[in-house]
Structure 1
Amino acid sequence: MNPLPELRVVEHDDTAWHGAYCDYVSQVFRQADFRRWCEWRQWGDDYRAFCIVGDDGRVLANASVSRMRLLVEGRELVGYQLGAVGCLPQVRGQGLARRAMQAALAYCGPAPVFLFANDSVLDFYPRFGFAPAPQTLFEAELQAEPVGDGRIVRAAALDLADGEVRAAFLRSAAEASPVSARFAACDYGRIATWYAANGYASPLRRLDDDTWVFAEVEDGVLTIEDVFATRPFDLTAALPHLIEQPVHTLRFGFTPERLWPRARALGAEADADLFVRNLVLPAGPHRFPLLART
């Protein structure tokens, strides 16, 4: 009789297990990778992986937990976001992912918990007390052209692979004001670096010592993916530093009621299946920041 796979909690200082965890992620989530993020030493003490491990040392199933400072309708609270929940294809149907989820939720206790799921497992999370919470896309019309008289300095794109750039960004992210009061987070710079490490984030531009913006322009659409600013941020004043071609539309990776109140809600975000547990979200449209999602 084969021994029951054991539960192992892998934390930031359990570096001997990081390789096995990265192998698991790459097999279950084909477009995700943790290796470069680990090389950048971004696995912090707020991130724990509840791994089901086989006798050969492989991670067979997992549910990871990120402890987060959340802002919900202007009120700050501590909650947890789950991620990398799943099971290796060859051992599915044995209840291993369920064991990992149960261990992760036991750790979270009665605190608010949420996660973003893919559409192939939408029936899995309600079994653990989660309820769906639609996310909203936001857009605004904008007629803006780059200034060509030499007075405007374009903000150059920076690479978070550079250790000094990364350290400076993380210092600002730790003190940055939340981009929204409806449903957002504080101090999630390490999560944002995961997107950069995998090439999924928009270019990062530093407008000044206190302001970092993930933004890009494509076909006349300026997407402000995220803003990390330690003092009040004026998006109108920042626009000339972010564009090199005419722009007719603004899009946001978060709820923009603070930065662009006249943005309109377009409807549900099709690729974002948010589930919440012990968490009451605002009744109106909102969008949890893209770069804060695990």
Structure 2
Amino acid sequence: MQKEFTFHKNFRNQPRLRENFFQFTPKALYGADFRLWYELGFWRDFYIPYSLFDKNEMISNVSVCEMRILLNGEKFNAVQLATVGTLPKFRNRGLSRRLMNQVLQDYDKHSAFFFLFGNEDVLDFYPKWGFRKVEEFCFVWKKPSQFFSTRASLVYRALNWFQKSNRDLFDRYATMSLPVTNRFGVVNYGPILAFYGLYAYPNDFYHFPELDAIIVF
């Protein structure tokens, strides 16, 4: 007989469940820690976890990121799937499948499409729901020193994520900014961009007052 687990979703404002989420992600998702993202005010209504619990322990999760996507010049409601994982001792029981089915059922009529960035070891998992592989490109600037040599007169400073005034500044720019591409861009991407700013590129966001811009460099 299969063991029953408790299902919860959208629990950002429930301290006990939220704390369980913070303890779950580093163990199931390569050390990812969402606590700072929450404490600095970037976990907002658009990010909704769908989670299974074994008593007071969170064991599996699929999160929804509700987005407004600009695709080939047209705007669509879309969902990015994120934070998909299960604790090692609970894997191979169909828990992620159960959560995926619930997410797709809830959003199928309200979203034009779903997408995600999958790790190499799970690429066989998502086609079961009709996902297909799409090439991703990374662009590299080989001589960034040219920027500083030609624009040496511009004043700039690194963004400090731990200063509220800097976070408010980032929020203002992120709300005002346009997608960098009409081909596949996101409207109001700030809170997710802040996640990468906090964890992946904490020293690479610069404010240029004269340009009225924040540049990720």
| TM-score (norm. length: structure 1) | 0.67
**Given the superposition, is the C-alpha separation of residues 125 and 146 from structure 1 closer, same or farther in structure 2, using an over 3 Å criterion?**
closer
- Asked if structure 2 preserves the Cα contact closer than 8 Å seen for 1:72 and 1:182, the reply is yes
- Asked if structure 2 preserves the Cα contact closer than 8 Å seen for 1:42 and 1:193, the reply is yes
1:89 aligned residue: 88
- Asked if structure 2 preserves the Cα contact closer than 8 Å seen for 1:62 and 1:101, the reply is no
- Asked if structure 1 preserves the Cα contact closer than 8 Å seen for 2:66 and 2:78, the reply is yes
CA deviations on 1:151-207 (whole Å, 9 max, x unpaired) are 713411111121111112112201211111111101111111112222435511111
**Given the superposition, is the C-alpha separation of residues 132 and 202 from structure 1 closer, same or farther in structure 2, using an over 3 Å criterion?**
farther
1:102 aligned residue: 101
- Asked if structure 1 preserves the Cα contact closer than 8 Å seen for 2:51 and 2:60, the reply is yes
Structure ranking higher in helix proportion:
2
Secondary structure in 1 matching 2:139: strand
What is the CA RMSD across the aligned residues, in angstroms? 2.2
CA deviations on 1:95-150 (whole Å, 9 max, x unpaired) are 111111111222221421100011111100001111111112334665826449x9
- Tell me whether 1:79 sits opposite 2:81 in the alignment: no
1:171 aligned residue: 172
CA distance in 1, matches of 2:157, 2:66: 32
**Given the superposition, is the C-alpha separation of residues 80 and 146 from structure 1 closer, same or farther in structure 2, using an over 3 Å criterion?**
closer
CA deviations on 1:18-57 (whole Å, 9 max, x unpaired) are 11111111101124110111111211011100001112x1
Q: Shift in Å at residue 214 of structure 1?
A: 1.0
- Asked if structure 2 preserves the Cα contact closer than 8 Å seen for 1:11 and 1:45, the reply is no
**Equivalent runs, 1:255-270 vs 2, <5 Å:** none
**Equivalent runs, 1:47-66 vs 2, <5 Å:** 47-55=47-55, 57-66=56-65
- Asked if structure 2 preserves the Cα contact closer than 8 Å seen for 1:63 and 1:84, the reply is yes
2:205 aligned residue: 204
Structure ranking higher in strand proportion:
1
**Equivalent runs, 1:1-294 vs 2, <5 Å:** 3-55=3-55, 57-110=56-109, 111=111, 112-139=113-140, 144=146, 146-147=148-149, 152-201=153-202, 203-208=204-209, 210-215=212-217
| TM-score (norm. length: structure 2) | 0.89
- Asked if structure 2 preserves the Cα contact closer than 8 Å seen for 1:74 and 1:181, the reply is yes
**Mind listing any 5+ residue stretches in structure 2 that lack a counterpart?**
none
**Given the superposition, is the C-alpha separation of residues 181 and 54 from structure 1 closer, same or farther in structure 2, using an over 3 Å criterion?**
same
Q: How many pairs are equivalent?
A: 213
